[in-house]
A and B are shown apart, each in its own frame.
Chain A
Amino acid sequence: MSTALAIEATGLAKRFGDTRAVDGVDLAVARGAVYGVLGPNGAGKTTTIRILATLLRPDGGSARVLGHDVVAEADAVRGRVSLTGQLASVDDELTGRENLILLGRLLGYRTAQAKARADDLLDAFGLANAAGRLVKSYSGGMRRRLDVAGSIVVTPELLFLDEPTTGLDPRSRNQVWEIVRALAAQGTTVLLCTQYLDEADQLADRIAVIDHGKAIAEGTPAQLKTSVGQGTLHVRLLDPALRDDARQLLARALDAEVALEADPTALSVPVADAERASEAVAELARAGLGLASFSLAQPSLDEVFLALTGHPPDDEAEDDEEVAA
Chain B
Amino acid sequence: MSTGETTRQPEAQRDDVVALNDALLAGPRPPRPSAFAATAAFGWRGMLKIKHVPEQLIDATITPVLFLLMFTYLFGGAVAGSTSDYLEYLLPGVLAQSVLFTCVYSGVSLNTDVTKGIVDRFRSLPIWRPAPLVGAVLGDGVRYVLAAVVVVLLGLVMGFRPEAGVPGTVAAIALVVVFAFGLSWVFTAIGMVLRSPNAVLNTGFMALFPLIFLSNVFVEPSTLPGWLEAFVDVNPVSHLVTAVRDLMQGDAAAGRIALVLGEAAALVAIFAPLTVRLYRGKS
Contact = CB atoms under 8 A, between A and B. Distances in A.
A272 interface: no
B24 A81 contact: no
A183 B24 contact: yes
A6 to B, nearest CB: 16
Contacts of B19: 123-124
Interface string A42-58: 00000000100111100
A85 B125 contact: no
B283 interface: yes
A53 B29 CA distance: 19
Contacts of A55: 120, 123-124, 283
A77 B45 CA distance: 26
A154 B30 contact: yes
A36 B236 CA distance: 56
B62 interface: no
Contacts of A120: 22-23
Nearest to A120: B23
B48 A129 contact: no
A94 B16 contact: no
Interface string A219-253: 00000000000000000000000000000000000
Interface residues of B, number: 44
B23 A124 contact: yes
B26 A94 contact: no
A85 B121 contact: yes
Contacts of A86: 117
Nearest to B8: A126
A318 interface: no
Contact of A155 (B26, B53, B131): B26
Contact of A87 (B116, B123, B124): B116
B124 A126 contact: no
B126 interface: yes
Contact of A108 (B32, B44, B113, B118): B32
Given A55-B283, A129-B4, A106 B25 contact: no
Contacts of A79: 32, 126
B25 A155 contact: yes
Contacts of A98: 45, 48
Task: Report the interface size class on chain A.
Answer: 35 or more
Interface stretch (A135-143, A191-199, A206-214, A256-264): A135-143
Interface string B18-48: 0111111110011111000110110011001
Contacts of B16: 124, 126
A50 B282 CA distance: 12
Contact of B24 (A93, A130, A186): A186
Nearest to A119: B23
B5 interface: yes
Given A81-B124, A93-B52, A139 B117 contact: no
**Interface SS of B by simple majority:** helix
Given A93-B49, A150-B121, A105 B26 contact: no
B3 interface: yes
B78 to A, nearest CB: 44
B1 to A, nearest CB: 6
B283 A178 contact: no
Interface string A162-190: 00000000011000001100110110100
A75 B32 CA distance: 11
B61 to A, nearest CB: 19
A215 interface: no
Given A183-B24, A186-B25, A130 B45 contact: no
Nearest to B13: A178
Nearest to B1: A139
Nearest to B7: A171
A203 interface: no
A8 B115 CA distance: 31
A203 B52 CA distance: 38
Contacts of A129: 3-4
A136 to B, nearest CB: 9
Contacts of B208: none
A117 B122 CA distance: 19
Interface of A: 16, 50, 53-56, 75, 78-79, 81-83, 85-95, 98, 102-103, 105-110, 113, 117, 120-121, 123-130, 134, 138-139, 141-142, 150, 152-155, 171-172, 178-179, 182-183, 185-186, 188
Given A56-B283, A141-B5, A182-B21, 9 more contacts: A93-B48, A108-B33, A121-B23, A124-B22, A124-B23, A129-B4, A130-B3, A155-B29, A188-B24
23 contacts: A53-B124, A54-B124, A87-B116, A89-B117, A91-B116, A93-B48, A94-B49, A98-B48, A102-B45, A103-B121, A105-B33, A106-B122, A106-B125, A108-B30, A109-B30, A120-B23, A124-B24, A129-B4, A142-B2, A154-B30, A182-B21, A186-B24, A188-B24
